[in-house]
Amino acid sequence: MIAQPVLEWQFGQVTGITTETPRTKSFRLALPKWIPHRPGQHYDVRLTAPDGYRAERSYSAASEPERIGELELTVELIDDGEVSPYMHDVLVRGDQLEVRGPIGGYFVWDVTLGGPLLLVGGGSGVVPLMAMLRHRAAQRAQIPTRLLYSSRSPDEVIYRAELDALANSDTGLEVDFTFTRSVSPGWMGYRRRIDSSMLNEVVRPLGKDVRAYVCGPTSLVESVANALVAMGLPAERVLTERFGPTGT
């Protein structure tokens, strides 16, 4: 049995902060003890107050493992949270942030696993899926891939410009958006919650051997996973990761 490395807490330096949406920011960290992660893994973030009180939260890696020495975390602001308000309102470039990882081995994908690949995300559930897409692009893989991304409105789409650029430059990748509350003038795409009919349209070109990764609020994940299995996808090829009720 191969011994697993012991993950230590380390301080990463904030090298950049990008506002993705009104409530979401990406934080780039230079890590002194950087370890290549698998797309889909996460990191723990720990804050320690002057009185010794500590708060920890887990955030998926948004960066691809090919980005050596750097980790990117994309964090949605939770108003009553203990960690995200500090990261959004206090943290600035040059600050130190304590992290530990990479963690997790179930909800992961890399090009060696092949495809076709179906990614379904709701709200900030797109973050680990973006790590997969960035890894796929870095490897110049031609694995047929579709991303179905549900958001409440167009201004809440994380990574919108990058997703559009990836889809426009890669004939093997298609990106579909669906908006559940408001749309831009002239929008001709989906404008409802993800349902079986939508999934059938998205999955059909990929065939029945697709690998599916679904991440987002619990209600979305359960609904999508159940629909995919009902469509005939083997349950072991439908991997899920869920969190509390936000985003769609």
Model pLDDT, residue 4: 55
- Supply 127's token pair: 């973050």
- Fold agreement between 10-103 and 111-243: no
With a cut of 70, say whether residue 247 has pLDDT above it: no
- Using CA atoms, how far residue 136 sits from 130, 145, 227, 238, in Å, is 10, 9, 26, 19
Q: Which CATH class is domain 111-243?
A: alpha beta
- Coil, helix or strand for 11? strand
Q: Across the chain, what does the average pLDDT equal?
A: 94
Rounded to whole angstroms, the Cα distance separating 193 from 203 reads 16
CB-based contact 120:212 (threshold 8 Å): yes
What's the mean pLDDT in 219-237?
A: 95
Number of CB atoms found within 10 A of residue 175's CB:
19
With a cut of 80, say whether residue 6 has pLDDT above it: no
Model pLDDT, residue 141: 95
With a cut of 90, say whether residue 171 has pLDDT above it: no
β 70-76/145-151 pair status? unpaired
pLDDT above 90 covers a percentage of the chain that reads: 91
Structural domain boundaries in the chain: 10-103, 111-243
Model pLDDT, residue 233: 94
- Residue-wise pLDDT for 98-150, tens only, equals 999 999 999 999 999 998 999 999 999 999 999 999 999 999 999 999 999 99
| Cα within 13 Å of Cα(210), Cβ side | 27
What's the mean pLDDT in 26-33?
A: 98
- Using CA atoms, how far residue 69 sits from 63, 153, 245, in Å, is 11, 34, 33
Model pLDDT, residue 7: 87
With a cut of 50, say whether residue 246 has pLDDT above it: no
- Coil, helix or strand for 113? helix
Q: Which CATH class is domain 10-103?
A: mainly beta
What's the mean pLDDT in 172-191?
A: 95
